[in-house]
Amino acid sequence: MGYETVIYEKAEGIAKIIMNRPERLNALNGQLMMELVATVRDAATDDRVRVVVIGGAGRGFCAGADFRYSEVRSGDVAPEEAEQRGMIFEQGRLLHPFNADVILGLQRMDKPTIAMVNGAAVGGGFDIALACDMRIGSENARFMVAFTRIGIVPGSGGAWFLPRVVGLPKACELIFSGDFVEAEDAYRIGLLNKLVPADRLEEEAMDLARRIANGPPIALRLDKLMIYKGLGTDLETALAFASACETITLHSQDHVEGVMAFTQKRQPQFRGQ
C-alpha cells in the first residue's frame, strides 16, 4: 500500500514510520492520522517486525494538530474552524482510531518502540513520542504539551504518560504551564533516553533498534508486558506474573539458543520460538 504523508519501510526486523509533511512540521491532519493508524496497525501485526521506530521528516518530529494560524490572524478563518485534525470526536465514539490505534497501539504493542525526535514534538506530536517505550533526540529536539495554551486538555494520553516518564511534580509543571522543554533539559529529566548530535540521530536510533531486533522476541514481548502491567499491580502480583512469564521463556528454543551461544562465545540467532 502506498502512503502520501508517511514513509513506511521494513527491513532487518525493524519497521520505520516517518511522518512526512515537512512543510507543516509534520502537523497532524486527517490523512496523516489515518496513515499513522494504518502503518502502526501493520507493524503491530507483522510477525517479521521486532522493533518499531517512528520519526519525522525535515526539521520537526510533529507539531501537533494542523492549525491554520496565519488564516486566523488574518481573520479569514475562525479559531474554532482552524484545526485540521479531522473528526477526532465523533458522536458515540470514545476513542478515535488515532488514539486507539496509534497512541494506545504503540503503548500496547508487544514490540519495543523508539521515537526518533529530530525537532519539535508538540501537543499530539509530544503524545506520539511519549507513547513510545524509548526516545532518542538530537540537540534540536524540544517538547511542549501545548494544549493548555489554547484552552484545552491533553487529549492523546499526555496526562497519563508524563507522570510516569518524568514524575508527578514535573509533569504538573509541564502540563499546567505549557512551557517548552529543550533537548538538554529533556535528557536531564529522563524524557530522552539519549541525546545525540543531529547528524547522528538516525544512526544512533537505528543502531539501538537493530540491537533490540537481534534479541529474543518472546522474552522482549513478555518484558514489555511485565513492565506496563507492573505499573498497575502490587509487588506480589508482579512476582507471580514474572514467574509465569519466566516459565514460558525457559521452555523456548530461544532460551536454548541463548545458553548455547553464551557457552560457545558467539552471537545468538534468536528466532522467536
- The mean pLDDT value for 226-245 works out to 95
Residue 269, in any domain of the structure = no
Distance set, CA 30 to CA 22, 76, 93, 204, 215 (Å): 16, 21, 17, 31, 36
Residue 80, in any domain of the structure = yes
Alpha carbon dihedral 224, 215, 48, 6, in 10-degree steps, equals 70
Which CATH number fits the domain that encloses residue 122?
Answer: 3.90.226.10
Residue 99, in any domain of the structure = yes
Lowest mean pLDDT among 20-29, 42-51, 72-81, 107-116: 72-81
- The answer to whether residues 24 and 159 belong to one domain is yes
- The mean pLDDT value for 143-165 works out to 91
Top pLDDT among 95 and 252 is at 252
Last residue of a domain, one of 213, 231, 251: 213
Residue 55 has pLDDT above 80, yes or no: yes
- The answer to whether residues 243 and 161 belong to one domain is no
- pLDDT for the residue 79: 52
14-19/51-56 β-pairing: parallel
- The answer to whether residues 21 and 112 belong to one domain is yes
- The answer to whether residues 145 and 227 belong to one domain is no
Residue 17's closest CA among 99, 42, 28? 42
Residue 273, in any domain of the structure = no
Confidence of residue 97 (pLDDT cuts 50, 70, 90): confident
- The answer to whether residues 90 and 204 belong to one domain is yes
Residue 270, in any domain of the structure = no
- The answer to whether residues 180 and 240 belong to one domain is no
Torsion angles phi and psi, residue 82, rounded to 5: -90, -10
- The answer to whether residues 121 and 162 belong to one domain is yes
- pLDDT for the residue 94: 54
- The answer to whether residues 88 and 65 belong to one domain is yes
Last residue of a domain, one of 173, 194, 213: 213
- The answer to whether residues 30 and 72 belong to one domain is yes
- The answer to whether residues 197 and 153 belong to one domain is yes
- pLDDT for the residue 168: 96
Last residue of a domain, one of 171, 189, 213: 213
Residue 83 has pLDDT above 60, yes or no: no
Domain that holds residue 257: 217-263
Which CATH number fits the domain that encloses residue 233?
Answer: 1.10.12
Which residues are paired to 19 by β-bridges? Answer: 6, 56
- The answer to whether residues 207 and 228 belong to one domain is no
User: Do residues 136 and 193 make contact, with C-beta atoms less than 8 angstroms apart?
Assistant: yes
User: Do residues 62 and 122 make contact, with C-beta atoms less than 8 angstroms apart?
Assistant: yes
Residue 24 has pLDDT above 50, yes or no: yes
Residue 75 has pLDDT above 80, yes or no: no
- The answer to whether residues 188 and 221 belong to one domain is no
CB neighbours of residue 209 within 10 Å: 25
Residue 167 has pLDDT above 70, yes or no: yes
Residue 185, in any domain of the structure = yes
User: Do residues 202 and 137 make contact, with C-beta atoms less than 8 angstroms apart?
Assistant: no
Confidence of residue 72 (pLDDT cuts 50, 70, 90): very low
Q: State the average pLDDT for the chain.
A: 91
Structural domain total, the chain: 2
Lowest mean pLDDT among 44-53, 90-99, 177-186, 188-197: 90-99
Residue 268, in any domain of the structure = no
- pLDDT for the residue 207: 97
Confidence of residue 183 (pLDDT cuts 50, 70, 90): very high
Residue 1, in any domain of the structure = no
